[in-house]
Amino acid sequence: MSKFISITNLSNGENIGLGTIEITTVPHVSILQKRLSTLPNIDTEYKQDMARLLSETFQNYKNSIGGCQDISMELLYCTEAVKNQPYKAAVKIYLIIRAISGDINEIENTIAAFMRVCKKTLDFGKYEYKEIEYQELAVRVQRINDESVKAVIKNERLENLQNNVIPYCFAYDKLPETENDLSRIISTLIDFPDCAVSFQLMPITYSAEEVSFALFHCLPPMCKKILIFTLSRGLFMKFCLEQIEIRMFGIQGRI
């Protein structure tokens, strides 16, 4: 097992694994111009690198066979006090992958696969980084002042589509697109030593038992009849499950 993947036993008999990448250097725009010189808007294209990271991570999770289902990806900004500088705190950035399973090999393979996706994106974006062990991350996190903790979570709901074929769908509010980037977070954090901002992405999916329960207990009677009629016409069960099974990335922030 890699020394950069830490696995701990839980009281319920399962195991939790963790792998961490510390981003040590963010590339200057002059470096990016060499790769993106033919594009009219370098800043916009560069932001798409991180969007592609999320897309590849999701596809990796969705297409994995025999991998962990309980996983999370965290982008952690934390600060530490500095001296003889015009700012009060230096900001450190970490990418943290977690996985929970009863199989240790499954955990290690899942975390290693997600770490490869992250490192590939960082290499392409000209970031500099290093893998660190759990003990080093733990020392950094223990210094965070947690007297005041606030969380922002995504609001989820069922939308009535008023459609006989698909009467309901899973819905949530999207954050509006703006020209602002994470520089605002950095400019705020440099004034506050020993604080942190954490973005956590967690894929959520229904289990087979939950899908079965939703099919036969939660759907309105008319929707059940339509589903049974559709199945009786010989359409693939996969099509029906794709309408019901929801895979997504939930976003949580902790300050």
For residue 243, the enclosing domain spans 5-176+183-254
Q: Is 136 helix (H, G, I), strand (E, B) or coil?
A: helix
- Provide the token pair at 171: 């819905």
**pLDDT top residue among 211 and 23:** 23
Alpha-carbon gap, residue 197 to 178, rounded angstroms? 20
pLDDT tens digit string along 48-81?
777 777 777 777 777 765 667 788 889 999 999 9
Looking at mean pLDDT, say which of 27-36, 85-94, 140-149 comes out highest: 85-94
For residue 43, give the CATH number of its domain.
3.30.70.1130
- Is 27's pLDDT higher than 70? yes
Measured CA angle at 222 (ends 217, 227), to 5 deg:
75
Rounded to 10 degrees, what is the CA torsion of 95, 196, 10, 108?
10
pLDDT tens digit string along 174-197?
777 776 667 788 888 999 999 999
User: How many domains is the chain partitioned into structurally?
Assistant: 1
